[in-house]
Amino acid sequence: MKLCVIGTGYVGLVSGVCLAAKGHQVTCVDLNPDIVAMLKQGKPHFYEPGLQELLTSVINAGKFTVTSSLSDAMQGAEIAMIAVGTPSVDGEIDLKFVRSAAKEIGTFLKAADQHTSVIVKSTVVPGTTDGVVLDEIQIASGKKLGQFGLGMNPEFLREGCAIEDFSLPDRIVFGYEDKKTLERLEALYAPWDCDKLAVNSRTAELIKYANNALLAVQISAANEIANLSAAIGGIDILDVYNGVCADKRWRPIVNNQRVTPGITSYLLPGCGFGGSCFPKDVEALRTLGQNNDSPMRLLQSVLDINNEQPSQVVKILSQQMGSLKGKKVLVLGLAFKPDTDDVRETASFKIVQDLLAKSASIKAHDPIATSNFKKLFGEPPSDLTFVEDWEEDVFEADVIIIATKWDEYKNITNLNLDGKVIFDARRLFDKGRLKNATYLTIGMRTRGQ
């Protein structure tokens, strides 16, 4: 099938490349000429494991092209997928890019003798596809729904394993407004064998938000109980959590065997969720509730807990060590999670700010996200420097904070940690024991500590 994908961010590029890998003819469109130039050379403009290789292979197979001209990309396309950004402004998503993409598609369709289904891939609040998007296309094209198709196909991609998530999805949601669009979505995803749900567009839109909101609820709930465990002392939240998960509604017993659902290994108390999706999506849903006279009190608490959660790190450190003034602190991990260079809403940002407020002397490291973090942070104060070889700096540090669960930080056990404080904010070390070091974490305080 011939399709064009508008927007080459995480979602657009990963979707385009993975659909091309299944044999579809994909053209991606991006307004940014630098991004187009890079992609033409087979170089993604962000890091995602496996993406570089797959991009090269679909380009070589002649299945993937990229252009800055939407009308070129639209020629003969049966599907036009909108995968542009939906930035958050005052808690609401800003639809300006979605609107302009829909308008441009409509303008193309006005003069074109082709039937195209427009599919919204961007995460948008319920009512956007069959409202704003439909209106923009109808006005710009002078055509009515039926003369073009319309649908919504949410993504469920986790950064760091987006290729795997696209290739082996748990479900695919087909939101559709007309039968032809449903048939096209079914054909597009025919190579995938998984649960496929056909619903209307606004239901598809809410499935995406509800999915992320309910996961975020679980994370904030686990973090709140973790904070209580630490406040009481003598309890490790992970032991509590294991006990809770033994309930067969969490971990069912099938044929005398415990099944371990993904949620039980996904959830891990720590310094809070970040990234481009959870914070923004929960906020957007909270605001949507407010605007629809259906207040989302729980989601407000989820956000409040999460906003404060990174501060647990410096709070606990201060309780244990007293003043942090002049203490040499090495922060390991700046990305919002491992296997990505994305620093959006990263907990490390707040941790570094808290440390600076306590006049600590900070060195910070990330395997691949340092330059993005520097852009986010702006001109660093003299108390903050960035290092490339973190192992060299362990010797000098009084305190080492593991803020992102990068595998390479496990090497710390091979180094001399005599007298150091290790704050393992992401439970890199399950059992919390490190020889000769004081081990601190979230959700556990040894009695007397």
List active site positions: 277
Among 37, 187, 239, 266, binds ligand UDX (CB under 6 A): 266
Report d(CA 339, CA 367) in Å as an integer. 9
Size of the site for ligand UDX (CB under 6 A): 19
**Which of 2, 45, 158, 374 lies at the binding interface for ligand UDX (CB under 6 A)?**
158
Q: Which residues contact 27 (CB under 8 A, 6 or more apart)?
A: 3, 4, 5, 64, 65, 66, 67, 72, 73, 77
155 binds ligand UDX (CB under 6 A): yes
Between CA 238 and CA 232 the distance in angstroms is: 15
Distances (CA, A) of 55 to 38, 59, 102, 149, 345: 11, 6, 26, 29, 28
Q: Which is nearer to ligand UDX, 181 or 276 (CB)?
A: 276
Name the minimum Å distance from CB 199 to ligand UDX. Answer: 17
Q: What residues contact 21, with CB distance under 8 A and at least 6 apart?
A: 54, 57, 58, 63, 167
Find the binding residues for ligand UDX in span 179-218 (CB under 6 A): 212
Q: For residues 56 and 28, give the distance between their C-alpha atoms in angstroms, rounded to a whole number.
A: 14
Q: Give the pairing of strands 257-258 and 253-254.
A: antiparallel
Give the Å distances, CA to CA, from 298 to 125, 216, 285, 333, 446: 18, 11, 11, 30, 31
Q: Does 159 bind ligand UDX (CB under 6 A)?
A: yes
Task: For residue 267, state whether it binds ligand UDX (rule: CB under 6 A).
Answer: yes
275 binds ligand UDX (CB under 6 A): yes
**Residue among 148 and 166 whose Cβ is closer to ligand UDX:** 166
268 binds ligand UDX (CB under 6 A): yes
Least distance CB 69 / ligand UDX (angstroms): 29
Round the CA-based radius of gyration of the chain to a whole number and report it: 24
**C-alpha span between 120 and 85 (Å, rounded):** 11
**Residue 156 near ligand UDX by CB under 6 A:** yes
Interacting span for ligand UDX (CB under 6 A) from 19-27, 132-140, 264-272, 377-385: 264-272
Query: Near ligand UDX by CB under 6 A, which window of 28-36, 175-183, 270-278, 297-305?
Result: 270-278
Q: Which stretch binds ligand UDX (CB under 6 A): 22-30, 73-81, 156-164, 247-255?
A: 156-164
- Segment interacting with ligand UDX (CB under 6 A) among 260-268, 286-294, 369-377, 431-439: 260-268
Measured distance CA(199)–CA(151) in Å, rounded: 10
Which residue type sits at 336?
Answer: F
Q: Give the nearest distance from C-beta 344 to ligand UDX in angstroms.
A: 9
Token pair, residue 266, equals: 């996904």
Question: What DSSP element (H or E) covers 236?
Answer: none
Across 129-227, the runs of DSSP E, i.e. the strands, are 149-152, 171-176, 195-199
219-238 binders of ligand UDX (CB under 6 A): 219
Scanning 73-81, 128-136, 263-271, 388-396 for contacts with ligand UDX by CB under 6 A, the matching segment is: 263-271
C-beta of 108 vs 377, nearer to ligand UDX: 377
Binding site for ligand UDX (CB under 6 A): 155-159, 212, 219, 266-268, 270, 272-275, 277-278, 336-337
